[in-house]
Amino acid sequence: MSATILNNGVAVSAASTSEATMAVLRFNVSTLLRPLHGSFKVTWWDVGREKWAENDRPCEIVSDSDGILEARCFHLTDFAIIVDAALNDPNVCDNALITLGYIVNGLSIFSLLILTLFSISAYIPTLANSRLYSYIRGHNLARRDFLALAYHFDLLLFYLFFTVFSNQYISENLCTVMAAVMYAFLLCSLLLTIFQAVRNIIVFLPSSIFHSLTISLSTPVVLTISVAIPFILSMFLLVFTKFFDRQDCFCWVRPDYIVAAIIIPVTILLLSTVICTSFMIYKVFCGMKRKFSQGGHHYDPNVITKIVSILVMQISLGLPWILQFGTLYSPYTTVWHYLFTIVLGSQGTILFLIFLYKRYRAWQSESVLKSREESFYKSKKSFTRSKKNRISAVADSLGSSTDTFNEY
């Protein structure tokens, strides 16, 4: 507010104060869905313009907690709470982000398709016995691993669904259902990764524990748990919560549901990562191989490579859940949107690169083994030849044949 003292039309004194609060408003927003690409805003009715005021002295939001939004306004008129946000997620309206998503998702689909077909080939005798399959697999890679096959197939389904149905313009009324299915697929991949890690570290344990865990971690048990828990949880969230109701044409989860969207998946991965890392450190620095070398079960010399690969996958699977939190409440495309799209869409490509790395290590081992065998045969042949020469020399000195020498 301001005041001016006039003397014969000339201002002789002026004073001003800050705007006085004319109204204190409280809104119950507990039943409203929070905008994912902006925020709530309290505005007032501009009588002169006959519309809600936008940037002209807006009401000041004092607090927003426990479902109550409190604001101070400096006018005496009608008031309203509005959503000041973008309508759609950048993943469905930003052409650059959409193109990037198609590229990274397409690479993952191609990579996972190769890995899935390769895993299936192990169960087809004609393909499994072919030279091409043997060359690609190498001697140090497992021939049949149904858990790996299930993992590759699960991620392949996730990327197919995510690439096609994550846009509401395609999934239409089934947007939230598709989001629930994709969430279940991704959680399933998390659990399969954890079980793969556990299977690799139990080889360090004593025989009694090893055999009991082998029964508990059989393939039917692992698949039942990995599929049942994610889909039951996903259906529960779909029916009883608004976890998949984004209202921005992007069929995915709401990152502002911290427990279901971030804490649950990241905690699962962190626990598995801590366990695997602890066993790796114990294995490398405390000599678990020597301690349990007589445990009676097979020791896998490539277990460190396997666990490191699983750790890489767990980190890459955990990052999208954290990165999506950075995309909250921004009406514009940010670097977090690009990072989320790249990391989430690259899981299949990372798996394929890990497979190539394992194949490279297998090729190195084969090369070392062949060189050792060649050197062994050469030394053996040289030893045999020198022995024959010595025998011949002795036989000549005795004036007899080798048979006489043997008898002698």
Poorest-pLDDT segment among 43-52, 225-234, 238-247, 265-274:
265-274
Query: Within 10 Å of residue 263's Cβ, how many Cβ atoms?
Result: 12
**Average pLDDT over every residue of 85-105:** 93
Residue 216 lies in a domain: yes
CA separation for the pair 252, 96 (Å, rounded): 19
Look at residue 21 and tell me whether its pLDDT is greater than 70.
yes
Provide the token pair at 254.
Answer: 């709401």
- The answer on 251 and 141 residing in a single domain is yes
- Residue 157 phi/psi, 5° resolution? -60, -40
Query: Within 10 Å of residue 150's Cβ, how many Cβ atoms?
Result: 21
CA separation for the pair 18, 348 (Å, rounded): 59
Poorest-pLDDT segment among 7-11, 65-69, 117-121, 142-146:
7-11
- The answer on 158 and 80 residing in a single domain is no
Could you report the per-residue pLDDT of 22-55, keeping only the tens digit for each?
Answer: 888 899 988 888 888 888 888 888 887 878 887 7
Look at residue 273 and tell me whether its pLDDT is greater than 80.
no
Task: Output the domain CATH number for residue 52.
Answer: 2.60.40
Residue 301 lies in a domain: yes
**Average pLDDT over every residue of 317-323:** 85
Given this model, what pLDDT does residue 312 score?
Answer: 80
User: Structural domain of residue 30, as residue ranges?
Assistant: 18-85
Residue 370 lies in a domain: no
Residue 265 lies in a domain: yes
CA separation for the pair 87, 36 (Å, rounded): 9
Which is more confidently placed, 222 or 145?
A: 222
Which is more confidently placed, 191 or 53?
A: 191
C-beta separation of 52 from 46 below 8 A:
yes
Find the helix or strand (DSSP H, E) in which 71 lies.
strand 68-73
Task: Output the domain CATH number for residue 167.
Answer: 1.20.1070.10
CA separation for the pair 179, 171 (Å, rounded): 10
237 Cβ neighbours under 8 A, 6+ residues apart: 180, 183, 243, 244, 260
- The answer on 274 and 225 residing in a single domain is yes
187 Cβ neighbours under 8 A, 6+ residues apart: 229, 230, 233, 234, 265
Helices (H), 44-174: 90-93, 95-121, 125-128, 131-137, 146-165, 168-171
pTM score, whole prediction? 0.78
Look at residue 369 and tell me whether its pLDDT is greater than 80.
no
Residue 359 CA from chain centroid, whole number: 23
Look at residue 400 and tell me whether its pLDDT is greater than 80.
no
Furthest CA-CA distance within the chain: 151
For 3, 9, 12, 17, 292, the CA distances from 6, given in Å and listed in that order, are 10, 6, 6, 18, 98
CA separation for the pair 179, 71 (Å, rounded): 35
Region for residue 66 given its phi and psi (left: phi exceeds 0; alpha: psi -120 to 50; beta: otherwise): left
- The answer on 161 and 216 residing in a single domain is yes
Provide the token pair at 317.
Answer: 């699977």
Look at residue 128 and tell me whether its pLDDT is greater than 50.
yes
Find the helix or strand (DSSP H, E) in which 314 lies.
helix 303-323
CA separation for the pair 49, 56 (Å, rounded): 11
CA separation for the pair 50, 269 (Å, rounded): 55
For 109, 191, 320, the CA distances from 346, given in Å and listed in that order, are 9, 18, 10
- The answer on 118 and 75 residing in a single domain is no
The number of domains in the chain is: 2
- The answer on 121 and 48 residing in a single domain is no
Residue 362 lies in a domain: no
**Average pLDDT over every residue of 185-196:** 88
- The answer on 333 and 287 residing in a single domain is yes
Which is more confidently placed, 20 or 334?
A: 334
Helices (H), 143-300: 146-165, 168-171, 175-201, 207-216, 219-240, 258, 264-286, 288-291
Residue 406 lies in a domain: no
Given this model, what pLDDT does residue 293 score?
Answer: 46
* Max avg pLDDT among 5-9, 108-112, 193-197: 108-112
- The answer on 36 and 134 residing in a single domain is no
Given this model, what pLDDT does residue 397 score?
Answer: 43
Poorest-pLDDT segment among 12-21, 29-38, 120-129:
12-21
C-beta separation of 34 from 256 below 8 A:
yes
| Cα torsion through 223, 227, 228, 231, rounded to 10 | 180
Residue 171 CA from chain centroid, whole number: 24
* Max avg pLDDT among 73-77, 85-89, 250-254, 300-304: 250-254
- The answer on 119 and 72 residing in a single domain is no
- The answer on 155 and 40 residing in a single domain is no
- The answer on 36 and 156 residing in a single domain is no
- The answer on 66 and 140 residing in a single domain is no
Could you report the per-residue pLDDT of 338-367, keeping only the tens digit for each?
Answer: 999 999 999 999 999 988 888 887 777 777
Q: Which residues on adjacent β-strands are paired with residue 26? A: 70
Residue 373 lies in a domain: no
Given this model, what pLDDT does residue 395 score?
Answer: 41
Look at residue 159 and tell me whether its pLDDT is greater than 80.
yes
Could you report the per-residue pLDDT of 370-379, keeping only the tens digit for each?
Answer: 777 667 666 6
Residue 161 lies in a domain: yes
Given this model, what pLDDT does residue 2 score?
Answer: 52
CA separation for the pair 192, 200 (Å, rounded): 12
CA separation for the pair 291, 283 (Å, rounded): 10
